[in-house]
Amino acid sequence: MMVIILNQQVTDAQKKHVLDTVLEAGATPYPAGPTTVVVPGNHAALTEKLASMPSVVQVVPIKSPYPLASREFHPEDTVIDIRGHIIGGQTPTIMAGPCSVESVEGIVEIAQAVKRLGGHLLRGGAFKPRSSPYSFQGHGEEGLKMMAIAREKTGLPIISEVMEPDKVALVAEYVDILQIGARNMQNYPLLREAGKSMKPVMLKRGLSGTVEEWLMSAEYILAQGNPNVILCERGIRTYEKATRNTMDLNAVPVVKHLSHLPIVVDPSHGVGKAAFVRPMARAGIAAGAHGVIVEIHPNPAKALSDADQTIDFAEFGQMVREVNLISDALSGSEKDHVLMHV
Amino acid sequence: MMVIILNQQVTDAQKKHVLDTVLEAGATPYPAGPTTVVVPGNHAALTEKLASMPSVVQVVPIKSPYPLASREFHPEDTVIDIRGHIIGGQTPTIMAGPCSVESVEGIVEIAQAVKRLGGHLLRGGAFKPRSSPYSFQGHGEEGLKMMAIAREKTGLPIISEVMEPDKVALVAEYVDILQIGARNMQNYPLLREAGKSMKPVMLKRGLSGTVEEWLMSAEYILAQGNPNVILCERGIRTYEKATRNTMDLNAVPVVKHLSHLPIVVDPSHGVGKAAFVRPMARAGIAAGAHGVIVEIHPNPAKALSDADQTIDFAEFGQMVREVNLISDALSGSEKDHVLMHV
Amino acid sequence: MMVIILNQQVTDAQKKHVLDTVLEAGATPYPAGPTTVVVPGNHAALTEKLASMPSVVQVVPIKSPYPLASREFHPEDTVIDIRGHIIGGQTPTIMAGPCSVESVEGIVEIAQAVKRLGGHLLRGGAFKPRSSPYSFQGHGEEGLKMMAIAREKTGLPIISEVMEPDKVALVAEYVDILQIGARNMQNYPLLREAGKSMKPVMLKRGLSGTVEEWLMSAEYILAQGNPNVILCERGIRTYEKATRNTMDLNAVPVVKHLSHLPIVVDPSHGVGKAAFVRPMARAGIAAGAHGVIVEIHPNPAKALSDADQTIDFAEFGQMVREVNLISDALSGSEKDHVLMHV
Amino acid sequence: MMVIILNQQVTDAQKKHVLDTVLEAGATPYPAGPTTVVVPGNHAALTEKLASMPSVVQVVPIKSPYPLASREFHPEDTVIDIRGHIIGGQTPTIMAGPCSVESVEGIVEIAQAVKRLGGHLLRGGAFKPRSSPYSFQGHGEEGLKMMAIAREKTGLPIISEVMEPDKVALVAEYVDILQIGARNMQNYPLLREAGKSMKPVMLKRGLSGTVEEWLMSAEYILAQGNPNVILCERGIRTYEKATRNTMDLNAVPVVKHLSHLPIVVDPSHGVGKAAFVRPMARAGIAAGAHGVIVEIHPNPAKALSDADQTIDFAEFGQMVREVNLISDALSGSEKDHVLMHV
């Protein structure tokens, strides 16, 4: 593959000329944002021709099947600014909130706890994917409105899931980050629409998604010109049933090696039992994750969904402390100096 | 759970009265078609009250989490008539065609071979889910038009995949069976929309879908009042990489025990290598499947996609012969007499 | 790799010369029986030199990591004669018996049923691998004696498991086939000892054994000069818990393509529920397996172990009938003509 | 189940009386060391009778299927003293060494590096389980002698694998800890023999071992009266092939919740790629593991085996520093206060 970088002042005519040149060579150009074009396949002759055009800044040959998501193309870490909070930098991002948004009072109370205890973003389910058509499917737009009120009261940015292409615009109106859930990791029409929205997107790994498939799904979003993708490891499905899922922390250094995109871990879904969320949050940060997303509730036993894996405020506070202790302890260390040399 | 069966002549007022009665008892009614209402939870008192209503034919208590898909509710096999071809009866259904529809001539040639060699339906990909945004995504509506032409020429009903809720109406206009692919097994908005279309739906098992989750996804379709769901086992994802996937034939008798819905197997995706498609088709029928769906091409090496797992016409003809030999051999035998007694 | 075939009249001195020649070339010779030597690595020059020696019949270059088990080295199917019964030919071999041998009367009764209903070998557990140290571990040698009595009364050859190298000689004294269980697929000292015994060995696939690892474990036995290895697919461990294990029938045509060794299937352990044993036995034969091994008991509910997956005599009889119907139906068909051409 | 604790001065006659009493009640007693007897099943009446005997200190009812390994029976953490080094306490244990012992000079050089860089035990393979019968199988006893020399020179205790019951006495003569490898997790004769040796045993989790099976395998060792078992998580087999195995750190807090036995992690095998060993070692400690075991070599590319996953001395030193930073950072925190209350 190759990625063609056009200069910022490229004119429509120049861009058309580039695309036509690619087409004439029998290749297919995929514009990915105003100044980027991806061309699959090997076209050495084309490379030279393109490189000599005045509107072309650079032609980057890429071996990876997910060029825009790869470190080959983009060696530095991607850093995403969400209302002033940085995801992908040195400080771990903490996102927390209920599985389902239940009421205005409830979500505000939780948001205040998240903020007080050191969290940075509020998560909450409004449109809920449920295995049964007869289960509570979330409060939908009403839930998003409640989250927006909680953001107003606390200043915390909000993240919530979107499940279908048609609802992307609606959800994007409310949230700061669109979440794409594990079941939809390969819902390509949804990925495309999320890409077009230009909102930051947190893409969860599917229950049986390989690292490669996951990065290729991220590529669907990036290929729309939306550079702000956050990956989230939330447990894969294995034979082991002592835990709800098997959080695959091995994927954290692997993804950081292959891609520049930030990666966070979700120990609530990853391990699926409240008592094990805190140690697995610690482990995620120690593995190099850029953050943690967890389900919290003032009284987990009464939560409308996911009660077993939801932690209370005290446990959450302790988790934040420990996560920060680990991050601080490692900050002097060249945490990942080897990774890039492999 | 319980399922309330209303009589065919139920009036709107009577139906409203039933729903109100459920609501007053603190339960939630889910209408599933004109004369069926599902009520989750245990409501013994309610059962008696409802049973005495003149518009209520029967109140069926169900333990299964997927009441409409379960044999508890519907003990006899579901049989689906597709333009005169029966799916779910004694004769195995053979569906075959290319991975991707490529041209009118191509699809007509293949359809004629399918018919000549003993197949019953023509499959073909028009909207293709692809891991990479830079891969050929199928000919879309044009592909469906080509399939419709092939149907016209051969009389074979057609089946093709739909990937997003918004396209259900469009695809349903052309096909006889809507296919929902493995990646979308838990795409609930898509399942709902497919249910509403009232077209027969073939629901593939997800790569890491459990039998229970699969049947609950079928329930999403049935809960819209659409009774015509066909299940398709197409291989699950395991540690073993000697085959592309691990076709789980164990699921065939399990599903037949738990559910009345017909089940077919897809050895092309299930095992993923052309040489092993025929023996696995045989095995699927011997396990009790109601049919087989396979990818065929006059020249597999030249197919636009899935070349490795596509068989040619001669191999397909041999497969049909062998599948029929097994089905005939077992027809005298009470194939599944034990299953219902477990 | 290469396999050196010596002529039947090779002298010790000639053989030593061959081995020395290999050693001098910096390679390592592994004698595997009186007239076979395996040499790992690529040694083209050596090939020529060896081929010209009078004691050398042939030097076969092999790409497979399991030369003796591969079809490259041994293109025709291996056929094993057990007291006159042929394993690996056209007729499916039926092995049946209790999970654990319980008493002389019990095992004789079962053996008579096996014979009467069309079975060919009697299986039974004497040394039992149990997850808990506090579970019944089998009757050991007493159990083998009981099986030998049952053989005497019925003429059926017997097969039973051996769990440790030290017990191979003891178990081999009684049985016609040594069984190596799934947990011991990679117990190399045990494999070596079973190889040395020169008894036929049935090697079960491990719960997470790949086809390649399984064939390499078979190679351990073959490398001792023991050519009589039978493979047994008995279910792998996957995420799916609707069945005890996931019997991987895909492995049947794959193994037949890669190896000349006979392969049987064990649907009792493979699917783990009595009601599904019969359809899965049928499926195994339809996939091309050379036989079936199942657990039977006159009263499964009272069996000392594995009650859930044990079938009764009536169900066993029906299974044998159906298995034979399928085998007969396919016998006219060139069942596997494509396999070798892949 | 129940565990009967006898007093330290119990006479043979008294012990016999206890065992007879159990037998008379129709139960089976399993003596596990001089003053412990395990009795499977529910025998309430028996409990009272036994509790009143003068030689009986306590009768502990246990729900767990692995009574001696469970926290129910033994609430405090097990701590094991290996030549003065404590495994299972607050300080992480670091074990390191080559995959295979290659030479005296080599192992001494590595042992000195382990010591200098902060490690506590020397690991090394002498008897090597290899997938192929034609691969280097380790130097056997010679390798153990080399390790013993390295211990002499550095004072580091040594750990090495034993693969068959017959070799337990031999290996135990040399090593301080017997290692039982992943392939042998359910090799019950080996577990029993290792138990009888009374040497500390490190039991690796099988590639498809569940946490429950793993603890039941530990029970086999404990049931011989050997209390010194260390568990080692070394990666399970899943569908994901971006890493060699999937190290399941979720198992760390789960095991610590269920059992009192110390648990260490092996990121070399767990993730299988050198660049990811250090972050996964950090993650293991952060998850609560009592130690780390890794493969190191002065020149990984030249190691006789496992070159891909072996780290060099510099990387090892950095790993030790980071592991200790995390352990120190968390030492003030009540690391696991919640676990015991689940």
pLDDT over threshold 90, residue C339: no
Task: Report whether B76 contacts B317 (CB < 8 A).
Answer: no
Chain C closest-CA separation from residue D63 CA (Å): 14
pLDDT over threshold 50, residue C338: no
- Residue ranges of alpha helices (H) inside chain C are 12-24, 44-51, 104-116, 141-154, 168-174, 188-197, 211-222, 251-258, 267-271, 274-287, 313-331
Which candidate from B30, B189, B207 shows the least CB-CB separation from A163?
B189
Does residue D75 lie within any of the structural domains? no
D208 and chain A in contact, CB less than 8 A:
yes
Measured between beta carbons, the chain D residues lying within 8 angstroms of B208 are 239
pLDDT level of residue A300 (50, 70, 90 thresholds): very high
Residue B295's φ and ψ, nearest 5 degrees, are: -95, 125
Measured between beta carbons, the chain C residues lying within 8 angstroms of A239 are 237-239
Question: Measured between alpha carbons, how far is B118 from C101 in angstroms, rounded to an integer?
Answer: 49
Chain B closest-CA separation from residue D241 CA (Å): 8
Question: Measured between alpha carbons, how far is A245 from A235 in angstroms, rounded to an integer?
Answer: 5
Summarised one tens digit per residue, pLDDT across range A304-334 is: 778 899 999 999 999 999 999 999 999 976 5
pLDDT over threshold 50, residue A122: yes
The pLDDT, as a whole number, for residue B337 is 44
C97: left (phi over 0), alpha (psi -120 to 50) or beta: left
Does residue B342 lie within any of the structural domains? no
Question: Which H helix or E strand runs over C8?
Answer: none
pLDDT over threshold 80, residue B302: yes
In chain C, residues 146-185 whose CB comes closer than 8 Å to chain A: none
- All partners of chain B with 3 or more CB pairs under 8 angstroms: A, C, D
Final residue belonging to a domain, choices D61, D90, D112: D61
**Proportion of chain D in helix, strand, coil states, percent, rounded to 5:** 40, 20, 40
C207 and chain D in contact, CB less than 8 A:
yes
Q: Compute the count of residue pairs across chains B and D with CB atoms less than 8 Å apart.
A: 7
Q: Are both B46 and B103 inside the same structural domain?
A: no
- Angle subtended by helix axes A251-258 and A211-222, to nearest 10: 40
Q: For chain D of 342 residues, list the mean pLDDT of each consecutive stretch of 10.
A: 96 96 95 95 89 95 97 97 97 97 97 98 97 95 98 98 98 98 98 98 98 98 98 98 98 98 98 98 98 96 86 98 97 55 36
The pLDDT, as a whole number, for residue A306 is 80
Question: Measured between alpha carbons, how far is A332 from A322 in angstroms, rounded to an integer?
Answer: 17
3-state secondary structure of C307: helix
Final residue belonging to a domain, choices B61, B92, B112: B61
Task: Report whether D172 contacts D200 (CB < 8 A).
Answer: no
Q: Compute the count of residue pairs across chains A and D with CB atoms less than 8 Å apart.
A: 167
B52 and chain A in contact, CB less than 8 A:
no
Which candidate from B270, B273, B283 shows the least CB-CB separation from C286?
B283
Does residue C53 lie within any of the structural domains? yes
Contact B134 A213 (CB under 8 A): no
Query: What Cα–Cα distance (Å) separates residue B339 from each residue in A93, B252, B258, C323?
Result: 53, 11, 9, 17
Does residue B258 lie within any of the structural domains? yes
DSSP summary character for residue B311: B
pLDDT over threshold 50, residue B56: yes
Q: Are both D171 and D284 inside the same structural domain?
A: yes
The pLDDT, as a whole number, for residue A340 is 39
Contact C130 D188 (CB under 8 A): yes
Q: Are both D104 and D190 inside the same structural domain?
A: yes
Q: What is the mean pLDDT of residues A281-286?
A: 98
Task: Report whether D122 contacts D148 (CB < 8 A).
Answer: no
Q: What's D201's domain CATH number?
A: 3.20.20.70
Residue written as tokens 């998850």? Answer: D287
The pLDDT, as a whole number, for residue B303 is 81
Contact B241 D237 (CB under 8 A): no
The total number of residues written for chain B in this structure: 342
Summarised one tens digit per residue, pLDDT across range B248-260 is: 999 999 999 999 9
Q: What angle do CA C183, C189, C190 make, to 5 degrees?
A: 50
Structural domain range at position A282: 80-331
- Closest-CA residue of A relative to D286 is A283
The pLDDT, as a whole number, for residue A302 is 87
The pLDDT, as a whole number, for residue B342 is 34
Residue C232's φ and ψ, nearest 5 degrees, are: -135, 115
Measured between beta carbons, the chain C residues lying within 8 angstroms of B335 are 279, 322
Q: Are both C289 and C179 inside the same structural domain?
A: yes
Q: Are both A56 and A84 inside the same structural domain?
A: no
The pLDDT, as a whole number, for residue A161 is 98
Q: Are both B174 and B28 inside the same structural domain?
A: no
B47 and chain A in contact, CB less than 8 A:
no
Structure tokens at A122: 């509020």
Q: Are both B84 and B57 inside the same structural domain?
A: no
Q: What is the mean pLDDT of residues C29-33?
A: 95
Measured between beta carbons, the chain C residues lying within 8 angstroms of B315 are 338
D253 and chain A in contact, CB less than 8 A:
yes
Does residue B56 lie within any of the structural domains? yes
The pLDDT, as a whole number, for residue A92 is 98
Contact D238 B239 (CB under 8 A): yes
- Closest-CA residue of A relative to D314 is A338
Q: What is the mean pLDDT of residues B71-78?
A: 97
Q: What is the mean pLDDT of residues C73-78?
A: 97
Q: Are both D244 and D307 inside the same structural domain?
A: yes
The pLDDT, as a whole number, for residue A231 is 98
Chain C closest-CA separation from residue D127 CA (Å): 11
Query: What Cα–Cα distance (Å) separates residue A302 from each residue in A132, A137, A299, B25, C185?
Result: 20, 17, 6, 22, 48
- Closest-CA residue of B relative to C268 is B250
A 10 A CB-CB count for A299 gives 10
Q: Are both B38 and B99 inside the same structural domain?
A: no
D125 and chain A in contact, CB less than 8 A:
no
The residues facing A142 across adjacent strands are none
Query: What Cα–Cα distance (Å) separates residue B3 from each residue in A135, B16, B73?
Result: 15, 16, 8
The pLDDT, as a whole number, for residue A304 is 78
D68 and chain A in contact, CB less than 8 A:
no
Contact D241 B238 (CB under 8 A): no
pLDDT level of residue B79 (50, 70, 90 thresholds): very high
Does residue C69 lie within any of the structural domains? no
Summarised one tens digit per residue, pLDDT across range C13-27 is: 999 999 999 999 999
C233 and chain B in contact, CB less than 8 A:
no
Does residue A48 lie within any of the structural domains? yes
Output the DSSP codes for B249-262: TTHHHHHHHHB-S-
Task: Report whether C197 contacts C226 (CB < 8 A).
Answer: yes
Percent of chain A with pLDDT over 90: 93
Q: What is the mean pLDDT of residues A62-67?
A: 96
pLDDT over threshold 80, residue C337: no
Contact D186 C216 (CB under 8 A): no
Q: What's B25's domain CATH number?
A: 3.30.70.260
Does residue B170 lie within any of the structural domains? yes
Contact A250 D246 (CB under 8 A): yes
Contact A131 B207 (CB under 8 A): no
pTM for the model stands at 0.96
Structure tokens at D199: 């040497």
The two beta strands, A93-97 and A291-295, are: parallel
Q: Are both A285 and A215 inside the same structural domain?
A: yes
- Closest-CA residue of C relative to A240 is C239
Task: Report whether C293 contacts C256 (CB < 8 A).
Answer: no
Summarised one tens digit per residue, pLDDT across range B173-230 is: 999 999 999 999 999 999 999 999 999 999 999 999 999 999 999 999 999 999 999 9
Q: What angle do CA D25, D27, D32 make, to 5 degrees?
A: 125
Contact C282 B279 (CB under 8 A): no
Measured between beta carbons, the chain B residues lying within 8 angstroms of D241 are 241
**Nearest residue to B287 (alpha-carbon basis) of B247, B319, B259:** B247
D242 and chain B in contact, CB less than 8 A:
no
- Closest-CA residue of B relative to C276 is B253
Residues 6+ apart with CB under 8 A from B1: A134, B38, B39, B40, B41, B61, B62, B63, B64, B65, B67
The two beta strands, C177-180 and C201-204, are: parallel
Q: What is the mean pLDDT of residues C115-130?
A: 97
Mutate one of A243, A250, A316, A338 to test the D interface: name it (highest D CB count within 10 A).
A250
Query: Per the structure, how many domains does chain A have?
Result: 2
Measured between beta carbons, the chain A residues lying within 8 angstroms of C239 are 237-239
The residues facing D179 across adjacent strands are D161, D202
Task: Report whether C310 contacts C304 (CB < 8 A).
Answer: no
Percent of chain B with pLDDT over 70: 97
Summarised one tens digit per residue, pLDDT across range A147-172 is: 999 999 999 999 999 999 999 999 99
Chain B closest-CA separation from residue D237 CA (Å): 6
The pLDDT, as a whole number, for residue B304 is 78
**Nearest residue to C293 (alpha-carbon basis) of C144, C99, C83:** C99
Contact D273 A322 (CB under 8 A): no
Q: Are both B42 and B124 inside the same structural domain?
A: no
Q: Are both B168 and B95 inside the same structural domain?
A: yes
The pLDDT, as a whole number, for residue A337 is 44
Q: What is the mean pLDDT of residues A278-303?
A: 96
pLDDT level of residue B307 (50, 70, 90 thresholds): confident
Which candidate from A38, A135, A189 shows the least CB-CB separation from B163?
A189
Beta strands in chain A (DSSP E): 2-6, 30-31, 36-39, 56-61, 80-82, 85-87, 93-97, 121-123, 158-161, 177-180, 201-204, 229-233, 263-265, 291-295
